[in-house]
A and B are shown apart, each in its own frame.
Chain A
Amino acid sequence: MHKFRVQKRTEVSMTRKILNPIVFVLFALVFCGIFLAVLKFNPLEVYGKMLEEIFSVRGVQKSVVAGLPLMFTGLAVAFGYRMNLNNIGADGQYAMGSILCIWFALYGPDMPAVPKLIIMFVLAAAGGAFISLLAAIPRAFWNVSETILTMMLNYIVLLFLNFLMYGPWKEEGQMVAQTARTDERYWLPDIGNTGINSIVIIAVIMAVAIYFFHKKTSKGYQMEVIRRGPAAAKYAGMNVKANIIFVLGISGAIAGLAGFAQVGGIIHRVQADLPNGAGYTGIVIAYLAGLNPLVVLIVGFLFGALQISAVAVQITGVPSQIATMIQGSIMLFVIAGEFFKRYKITRQNSQPSLPEKATEDPKKEIPVQEGGAE
């Protein structure tokens, strides 16, 4: 008789860390290939198109654009989770950040680009922080679940965003629910002639700063202690409440900056449903990146690539639903594959050899049952 056992790996090698997701991406492609074949598409042709798209200059540029909001939301979620705080509300924080940012960009006073952009930046961060603090304060003082609160706030903020987009802030004379574009003076420039917007630099600085913050600062150390040993944190007299408010506040501010990225660097306007689930994808990204902010950037970029390649296959005539399915499958397989990074499955051949009595009926021998349990 074959028996399988799940064992935790004691060490995860670097090769495995890199190879594991790649293998599972391949599995996902095989899986989707079956569907494509059934629909009479040539899977190889479709995948070839995807790869062609990703590995072109334009593809990289588009991947960065698609990945940027994900990087910010990924960083935001990872930051919160560093203290075991589940920020599910990066979507709403992103939306609020973009609302305040576009408000100042469109309706704020006319001023030189640099101060204008700085204020837009601050307002986007403040908007995100404001929303997350609405969850952080009840969490810190009354121990209300931040998971539920941040998630519920998403609905409120997104509805508010859509109200503005369909209503008062809608661009005149247009069918689409979106604001007007900001003045070209307030657009962040591209980096040289790479076609990549300089907002990427902000994302990188942000990630490096967070990385440094975790490793080198007293606050970062406190976060680590509170995450790994809440009893010890109390024992050392750390102010857990203040730290919860601080961490969720910062997390929200980072998510809000995704709004600044859009308004300042990418589409220069705000649309209905702008976050488009970026906050939720951010959770996946943070998880896959192992909460490491630098890795979040890479994973965020890869998710961007995944999104644009899914769009690209539609050119080959594949219905958009299938494109979404490919995207979803890859995500699902990679996440499921994480299990095999941490555990291994071993096979056992040994024949179980219980003494007969025990296998037959262990109850027979219980003396106290003679009283008549049956």
Chain B
Amino acid sequence: MGELILEMKNITKTFGSVTANKDVSLQLYAGEIHALLGENGAGKSTLMNVLTGIYKPDGGEIYYKGKKVSIRSPKQAVNMGIGMVHQHFRLIPTLSVAENVYLYSEDRKFMLNQKKMEDMIRECSERFNLSVDASAKVWQLSVGEQQRVEIIKLLYRGAEILILDEPSAVLTPQEAEQMFKTLRKMADAGKAVIVISHKMNEVMNNANRITVLKDGMVEDTMLAKDATVERLTKAVVGDRQLEEIKPKEGKVSDECVLQMEAVTAMDDKGIPALKDFSVTVHKGEIFGIAGVAGNGQRELGEVIAGLRPAVSGKLILEGVDVTKASIRTRISKGISFIPEDRLHTGLVPGLNLKENVILKEFKGNKYCRRGLLNFSAIEKAAERFVSKYEIKNGGLDLPVSLMSGGNQQKLLIAREVDGRPALIIAAYPVRGLDIGAAETIREILLEESKNGTAVILISEELEEIFKMCDRVGVLCNGELMGVRGIHETDLNEIGKLMSGERNEVKAHA
């Protein structure tokens, strides 16, 4: 490892009564990949936001290249050489790669010399193995390529420290491997890389050192080669007991709940995103949808829930054709939907817990009487949800945006499983949640399927799919690559299907 490039000393940051970081110290050396591990709400993002000048720390000092600095804005951080790749990319889709890099660069001239810019990007991408077509428009690029553009932006600005927030979350295993190779190259070139991550294996395999944050404090710092799963788990989770969920035992009824026949749907740009999709889901079954995010999963969920029209094909729910049915009809027929964007689609962040309970029952007899809201019924339901699913909240009258992600999701799921739906579509139900909350939510879904509800589980974690599902279908480019019984397949085969390699055996949907 090289010289000490950055030192954060006793960083403390509070938001009101919440302490997000307490006395956090972190050393970063040139040439290392440093992983920041921890549950949601452990303070990883806050710490990095302090480092990139988005937040001002309440206490503590930052030394950069041996000098004490105070970083007041992301712009200043970038000028100093500290850059961050956020989880949601900050790119302008309609502009080309070169134009995006240009926009971010400091020495913008009045005119853009497209050719020169592209040459420089090419040079940079060759040097670090960041292959990307400089003249392509960003919207044409895959997620992995867009991520590379983000990295190029930072390199072009002369970043010495690169921070990546959950960089592998949007990638296939193969792409993730490639990305870490690139990061290693950059580290070898003397840069320091910080990777925020959830995934222990990934961190152990790719980092030099690992710092674990828990409850806003540094729980453990270690060399990656000294790390074991046990040690990391203990540091991340603490002494909390985790119940292992048991693999689901196959006992699925033959009764068919949902039948999709050659359904095609468009994405927001009007390009087919789900193509000739056919599948049958049975009562009590958990049907997994595997695949890299952005391969038609969103459209699949929305087509079933009725948020997106099917341009062709048929959707049959319990024998009734619902292809053209309205969202309200589908809800009343028992289709529940846990959307990907839980905070803005599944919930209304500015409204309180009670108001979110009635989101889908804003009329009808459950919570209304003659157009007036029935507050006692609403309050009762809210209390029932809170106690049954142990939803931690600051009060039923506080906006749900103040609750943690895990509790938001519990609330959403409590509402969706209430009244025993026929079908639940769960899109990435545990994405971004801490281990404890994730387990709870998986258990709720398993419980519901035992009670006879059919569940479609869209997930990017194959481990989760293998643990929970009876069958798994793989989506790639909007096409169903194949359907496998969970006991008849393995990670390897699913991984291949995810990357678009279709086997000789035809899908039997």
Binding site for B on A (CB under 8 A): 10, 216-219, 221-222, 224-225, 228-229, 231-232, 234-238, 350, 352-358, 362-363, 365-369, 371, 373-374
CB pair B372–A362 under 8 Å, yes or no, is no
CB pair B116–A355 under 8 Å, yes or no, is no
CB pair A365–B355 under 8 Å, yes or no, is no
Note all chain B residues with C-beta closer than 8 A to A221.
355, 358, 362, 373
Give A368 to B151 CA distance when docked, in angstroms: 13
Within 8 A of A (CB), among B54-112: 64-70, 72, 76, 79-81, 106-107
B480 CB within 8 Å of chain A? no
Note all chain A residues with C-beta closer than 8 A to B330.
237
Q: Encode contact with A along B323-339: 1 for CB under 8 Å, 0 otherwise.
A: 00011101100000101
Sample of 20 A–B contacts (CB below 8 Å): A218-B362, A221-B362, A224-B355, A235-B337, A235-B359, A237-B327, A352-B70, A354-B67, A354-B69, A355-B67, A358-B80, A358-B81, A362-B80, A363-B107, A366-B156, A367-B127, A368-B155, A371-B120, A373-B107, A373-B120
CB pair B158–A362 under 8 Å, yes or no, is yes
CB pair B373–A225 under 8 Å, yes or no, is no
Most chain B beta-carbon contacts within 10 A, residue among A357, A362, A371: A362
Note all chain A residues with C-beta closer than 8 A to B359.
225, 232, 235-236
The chain A residue sitting closest to B15, CB to CB, is A10
A-B interface pairs (CB < 8 A), number: 128
Give A272 to B355 CA distance when docked, in angstroms: 47
CB pair A353–B344 under 8 Å, yes or no, is no
Shortest distance from the beta carbon of B379 to any chain A beta carbon, whole Å:
14
CB pair A228–B351 under 8 Å, yes or no, is yes
Note all chain A residues with C-beta closer than 8 A to B368.
218
Give A367 to B345 CA distance when docked, in angstroms: 44
B363 CB within 8 Å of chain A? yes
CB pair B348–A228 under 8 Å, yes or no, is yes
Give A234 to B302 CA distance when docked, in angstroms: 11
Note all chain A residues with C-beta closer than 8 A to B341.
231
The chain B residue sitting closest to A355, CB to CB, is B67
CB pair A366–B64 under 8 Å, yes or no, is no
CB pair B348–A217 under 8 Å, yes or no, is no
Note all chain B residues with C-beta closer than 8 A to A228.
348-351
Shortest distance from the beta carbon of A358 to any chain B beta carbon, whole Å:
4
CB pair B351–A229 under 8 Å, yes or no, is yes
Known: A224-B348, A354-B69. 8 other contacts (CB 8 A): A219-B371, A224-B355, A229-B345, A356-B67, A362-B80, A363-B107, A366-B158, A367-B155
Give A249 to B123 CA distance when docked, in angstroms: 60
Set A235, A237, A350: member contacting B70, Cβ < 8 A: A350
Closest 10 CB pairs of A and B: A237-B327, A366-B158, A229-B348, A237-B328, A358-B80, A355-B67, A368-B124, A228-B350, A231-B345, A362-B79
Note all chain A residues with C-beta closer than 8 A to B339.
235
Give A358 to B65 CA distance when docked, in angstroms: 10
The chain A residue sitting closest to B152, CB to CB, is A368
- With known contacts A228-B350, A231-B345, A366-B158, A218–B81 Cβ distance under 8 A: no
The chain B residue sitting closest to A225, CB to CB, is B348
Set B80, B120, B307: member contacting A354, Cβ < 8 A: B80
Give A350 to B454 CA distance when docked, in angstroms: 60
Set B79, B347, B373: member contacting A232, Cβ < 8 A: B347
CB pair A371–B123 under 8 Å, yes or no, is yes
CB pair A237–B306 under 8 Å, yes or no, is yes
Set B68, B69, B362: member contacting A236, Cβ < 8 A: B362
Within 8 A of A (CB), among B412-462: none
CB pair B344–A232 under 8 Å, yes or no, is yes
- With known contacts A218-B368, A358-B79, A229–B347 Cβ distance under 8 A: yes
Give A216 to B344 CA distance when docked, in angstroms: 23
B392 CB within 8 Å of chain A? no
B157 CB within 8 Å of chain A? yes
Note all chain B residues with C-beta closer than 8 A to A355.
64-67, 69, 80
Note all chain A residues with C-beta closer than 8 A to B124.
368
Note all chain A residues with C-beta closer than 8 A to B397.
none
- With known contacts A218-B373, A221-B373, A353-B70, A238–B362 Cβ distance under 8 A: yes
Note all chain B residues with C-beta closer than 8 A to A365.
81, 158, 160
Note all chain B residues with C-beta closer than 8 A to A225.
348, 351, 355, 359, 362
Most chain B beta-carbon contacts within 10 A, residue among A216, A228, A235, A373: A235
Give A218 to B119 CA distance when docked, in angstroms: 60
The chain A residue sitting closest to B156, CB to CB, is A368
Note all chain A residues with C-beta closer than 8 A to B347.
229, 232
Note all chain B residues with C-beta closer than 8 A to A235.
305, 307, 327, 337, 339, 345-346, 359
Note all chain B residues with C-beta closer than 8 A to A353.
67-70
B16 CB within 8 Å of chain A? yes
Note all chain B residues with C-beta closer than 8 A to A352.
70, 72
